[in-house]
Amino acid sequence: MTRIFSGVKPTGHLTLGNYLGAVRRWAEDDQYRAEALFCVVDLHALTMEHDPARVRRLSRQAATLLLAAGLDPERCTVFVQSHVDEHARLSYLMECTATDGEMRRMIQYKEKSAQAKASGDGVRLSLLTYPALMAADILAYSADEVPVGEDQTQHVELTRDLAVRFNQRYGHTFVVPKATEPVVAARVMDLQDPTSKMGKSHASGAGIVYLLDEPGVVHKKVMRAVTDSGREVVHDRAASPGVANLLEVLGACTGQEPGALAGTYTSYGVLKKDAADAVVELLRPVQERHAALVADPGHVEEVLRRGAGRARAMARPTVDAAYRAVGLLEP
Ligand code: AQP
């Protein structure tokens, strides 16, 4: 049976980008057709300046939102990365497999290290080695597929390279995974700056729709989205990035093709209103389930505890095999 692994990082409140690019597919498709594991990758949230209390709060919230989005713990494994030691154990072997040059070429490293320098913080070594931990996250579970948004495909490509290299050097140990992207909305853009990705850790929230934003807030943010100086509604990412983004969001919410949708609009205002309504409707059931789950925190904790137990049992044999393959003595 196909094995799937993916995760979210608790570096901010989950966004519409996280949902359309990744989480919705996990809930609507992946968990039904494969043996799937979904993880709150909290260790990855420590690679930039962080507040411990906030990471704790956001980790709990992310796990609750994954369940609210429809992940069913009877069908898939939902857990927190730091609860399963195998991730950190295997990460070290990945650091011994990757090269410094490979890590420095990662776009996320270039962007986030520049961000850290600009805000006067040092660049943490873990920001550079982040893809080694991400490779470990995936390879520990022998995942075949990694459903992610477009921004993470470079890291999955690197994971493939590391798996192939490790297997060639030390004998077949890892499944070589592949990234899968959604057909529409693989890269939801910031509503205020449609040339940048909608990112949960960005400072200004004006261009970011968070999954827990109230309907009125969603409306305001979408209606104020930056469009272009033209008048025509066309789906052209290069010439009209703001309009293209709205068409993609609306298309992803309603199951329509953005190019075809463009032909049905003659004004930006109507497009924005329809997009805002569609996002509100999309988020409504997630928000309702979230409210119910928040009222029962013991349930979420129990799901995570059981999930970690299952994940540990799945990862352990592969990570032990990797340790033996590189020449480490069995304890
Ligand atoms: N804007 C986006 N459009 C489509 N997919 C997106 N994803 C993130 N942003 C978008 C996908 O969501 C999944 C979880 O993301 P993550 O938690 O690993 O964080 P990230 O990719 O680094 O993006 P964020 O949310 O913007 O976090 P920060 O700001 O901390 O970097 C992934 O599959 C991702 O592709």
pLDDT in the model for residue 154? 97
- Ligand 1, closest atom to CA 112? 31
Which residue's alpha carbon is nearest to atom 2 within ligand 1?
Answer: 17
**Cα separations in angstroms, 102 against 47, 69, 321:** 18, 35, 25
pLDDT at residue 302 is higher than 90: yes
User: What was the pLDDT predicted at 278?
Assistant: 98
At 202 the pLDDT is: 80
pLDDT at 37: 98
Q: Which pLDDT band, with edges at 50, 70 and 90, does 289 fall under? A: very high
Query: Terminal CA-to-CA distance of the chain, rounded, Å?
Result: 32
Nearest CA to 282 out of 205, 188, 197, 152 is that of: 188
Please identify, by atom number, the ligand 1 atom nearest to the C-alpha of residue 153: 35
Nearest atom in ligand 1 to 11's CA: 30
Q: Write the CATH number of the domain with boundaries 215-291.
A: 1.10.240.10
Measured in angstroms, how far is the CA atom of residue 188 from the centroid of ligand 1? 9
Residue 285 is predicted with a pLDDT of: 98
Tell me the CATH number of domain 3-181+296-325, given options 1.10.10.10, 1.10.3720.10, 3.40.50.800, 3.40.50.620: 3.40.50.620
Tell how far the Cα of 277 is from the centroid of ligand 1, in angstroms. Answer: 23
Rounded to an integer, the average pLDDT of 290-300 is: 95
How far apart are the C-alpha atoms of 116 and 185, rounded to whole Å?
A: 28
Given a cut of 90, is residue 312 above it in pLDDT? Answer: yes
List pLDDT tens digits, range 97-113.
999 999 999 999 999 99
Q: Residue 287 has what pLDDT? A: 98
Helix/strand/coil for 104: helix
Q: Are the beta carbons of 188 and 17 closer than 8 angstroms?
A: yes
* C-alpha–C-alpha distance, residues 262 and 274, integer Å: 12
Could you please report the per-residue DSSP string of 235-294?
--TTT-HHHHHHHHHHHHHHT--HHHHHTT-S-HHHHHHHHHHHHHHHHHHHHHHHHHHH
Task: Map residue 2 onto helix, strand or coil.
Answer: coil
Q: Is 199 in the pocket of ligand 1 (CB under 6 A)?
A: yes
pLDDT of residue 183: 87
pLDDT at res. 108: 95
Tell me which residue has tokens 């400072």.
Answer: 203
The predicted pLDDT at position 231 comes to 79
Residues with catalytic function: 112, 197, 200
Q: What are the tens digits of pLDDT across the range 166-179?
A: 999 999 999 999 99
CB 149 within 8 A of CB 186: yes
Task: Give the residue, by CA position, lying nearest to ligand 1 atom 7.
Answer: 18
State the chain's mean pLDDT as an integer: 96
Mean pLDDT over 1-13 rounds to 96
Instruction: For residue range 18-75, list pLDDT tens digits in order.
Output: 999 999 999 999 999 999 999 999 999 999 999 999 999 999 999 999 999 999 999 9
Residue 204 has pLDDT above 80, yes or no: no
| pLDDT at residue 279 greater than cutoff 90 | yes
Name all contacts of 95-103 with Cβ < 8 Å and 24+ positions apart: 95/129, 95/132, 96/326, 97/132, 97/162, 97/165, 97/166, 97/169, 98/131, 98/132, 98/135, 98/158, 98/162, 102/131, 102/158, 102/161, 103/128, 103/129, 103/131, 103/132
198 lines ligand 1 (CB under 6 A): yes
Q: Is the confidence at residue 203, as pLDDT, over 80? A: no
Instruction: Give CA–CA dist 229/308, Å, rounded.
Output: 51
d(CA 174, ligand 1 centre) in Å:
25
For the chain, the structural domain boundaries read: 3-181+296-325, 215-291
Q: What is the pLDDT of residue 77?
A: 98
Give CA torsion, residues 174, 316, 321, 103, to 10 deg.
Answer: 50
pLDDT in tens, 123-160: 999 999 999 999 999 999 999 999 999 999 999 999 99
Protein residue with least CA distance to atom 18, ligand 1: 8
Q: What are phi and psi of 257, to 5 degrees?
A: -85, 125
- Ligand 1 centroid from CA 213, angstroms: 17
Contact (Cβ atoms closer than 8 angstroms) between residue 34 and residue 145: yes
Radius of gyration of the chain (CA): 20
Angle of CA points 141, 144, 148, to nearest 5°: 95
Higher pLDDT, 280 or 115: 280
Whole-number pLDDT of residue 232: 86
252 has a pLDDT exceeding 90: yes
Distance between CA 330 and CA 320 in Å, rounded?
8
Q: Are 246 and 274 in contact (CB under 8 A)?
A: no
Rounded to 5 degrees, what are φ and ψ at 220? -60, -45
pLDDT digit string, tens, across residues 69-99: 999 999 999 999 999 999 999 999 999 999 9
Ligand 1 centroid to Cα of residue 267, in Å, is 30
